[in-house]
Amino acid sequence: MARRVSCRPVSVRLLSVLFAVALAPVAGAAEDPLTPWLQARVREHIAFFAAPLPVADAPATAGVSSLWRERPKGYAGLPHFTPPTSLAPLIRAVEAGVVNITTVAPGAVVGAVKRSTGSGFVLTPDGLVVTNNHVVANAQGPEVNPSGSGVTPGKDGPREVPVQQVSVRLADGREFPADVVGRDASTDVALLRLNGAGLGTLRSVFLGDSDALEVGDWVVAIGNPFGLDHSVAHGMISAKERVLGVGQFDDFIQTDALINPGNSGGPLFNMKGEVIGVNTAIISEGQGIGFAVPINLVKDLLPNLRENGKLERGWLGVVINEDGADATATAPVVKDVYRGSPAAQAHIRPGDRLVAVNGRPIGSYLQLLRKVALLAPGTEAKLTLLRDGGTQEVAVRLVARPAQEATEGLSNRGGSSANDLGLVLRDLTPEVAAPLGYEAFLGALVSGVLPRSPAEQAGLRAGDVVMEVNRRRVKDTAAVKAALERGSAGASILLRVQRGDALQYIAIAR
């Protein structure tokens, strides 16, 4: 941006003439030794008055005693800044795409009071609607337990969970029943489909680019707080990429636009009338602190929800260097590539630095994990990488994450055997730790146990995390090996192991 500068309001030419006249030597007079010094000071004063004012945006006039600056009369304002006047035209243009979502218990009689649970917005004219997962979490159908039986165990045996029905009311008052097409708790996003006559011409919203947001951008939140239809709040972007500890996909937009219960799932608009976030959370102890899921994350997730009904995670098949997995703004560096993986087929190799996925920059391991995991298996992604000082683009067709990739399957690549104990160990890198819910480098992951080995006889199993060896803290496989080498030959080994949420000591006889 070009800086606007101005000079002191004194004529430089006039000053130079006056000083020249004042210092001109009298003819025939001996040269005064003070004259060269005065002439040097004159040159300094001329340079001072000729220099631009140290003001980046506009000229200023001095206040009393030059203690402050003031704008000159008629100043036109800051460049590239237009203060908002009324948001009414924007609201009129977008409010038809905002909906109210209610639920009603099954078997309720006609006229039963429906409970407003949140907000949403129309994605397509034929009736796809986006909202929060927690708004419709009880409307998916019978709750499915981890075994996939379709029922939830109860005190007296398996039981069916009551299913709530979803109803969506448009801005014009029309109301439609809705089915849950797909939902994902880790991102708190859900996709609904309206049913009934009159679909096909609904007013849908436009989606924007959340990566282009800047702190200070004006935003508008529209929703149904406490069941109050189409309430509008405005504010600005307070921060980006907030991590709230909800999960590995934490990447929230923070805003001071008021978000209250009932706003959940509603849109956060920019000043172009584009949705740049899905309002999702508030901090009850604070005021003016709300959070929204970035719309670019939602864009990556929606095809997955529509096709699979849930988040089917794509898998690239790379191990990221620890230096590329920290919180610094450094593109991830590939440490290793799994044989037969999509990365291997695309000829990605150790040392490559991954800088973008589908044209969107990535600056950390977590950003890479989010962007890849949100893409459905079978998706072709374009990766931009740095290699040997140059930039290359490669196409990668992602596959489903291997079911045992985080346990036994990891031993196929880079595993380390503690042969005398029958343990196959793996470093608990961020890529390995995240799916298991562990902290990175908490210890060494047991990725395999040899049959009839001392480790198997002691009860160790794949998925355990070794945290201590003979009461020495260890954080990776190298530390485990070093601790084992320090032990006495023939002596028992005492391991402290994390298994799920439990910590236990296990003794292994050599």
Asked whether 245 and 186 are in contact (CB, 8 A), the reply is no
Choosing from 45, 57, 134, 336, the catalytic residue is 134
Q: Which of 264, 364, 416, 453 is catalytic?
A: 264
Q: Is 188 a catalytic residue?
A: yes
- Cβ-in-10-Å burial (0-12, 13-18, 19+) of 414 comes to middle
What is the C-alpha to C-alpha distance for residues 508 and 510, in angstroms, rounded to an integer?
A: 6
Cα–Cα distances in angstroms (integers) from residue 241 to residues 220, 255, 290, in the given order: 19, 12, 13
CB 111 within 8 A of CB 171: no
**Catalytic residue at 156?**
no
Distance CA 376, CA 387 (A): 27
Q: What values do phi and psi take at 457, rounded to 5?
A: -65, -30
307: how many CB neighbours lie within 10 A of its CB? 15
Distance CA 385, CA 399 (A): 20
Whether residue 134 lies in the annotated active site? yes
N-to-C CA span, the chain: 71
Sign of the dihedral defined by the CA atoms of residues 76, 81, 86, 92, in that order: positive
The closest of 438, 450, 448, 350 to 404, measured between CA atoms, is 448
Instruction: List residues bridging with 502 in a β-sheet.
Output: 499
Catalytic residue among 116, 119, 167, 188: 188
Q: In terms of C-beta distances under 8 Å and separation of at least 24 residues, what long-range contacts does 348-354 make, across chains too?
A: 348/318, 348/383, 348/385, 348/394, 348/396, 349/387, 351/387, 352/385, 352/386, 352/387, 353/324, 353/385, 353/386, 353/387, 354/318, 354/383, 354/384, 354/385
- The burial class, CB within 10 Å (0-12 / 13-18 / 19+), for 271 is middle
CB 382 within 8 A of CB 435: no
* DSSP annotation string for 144-197: PPTT--SSEEETTEEEPPP--EEEEE-TTS-EEEEEEEEEETTTTEEEEEE-ST
Which of the residues are catalytic?
134, 188, 264
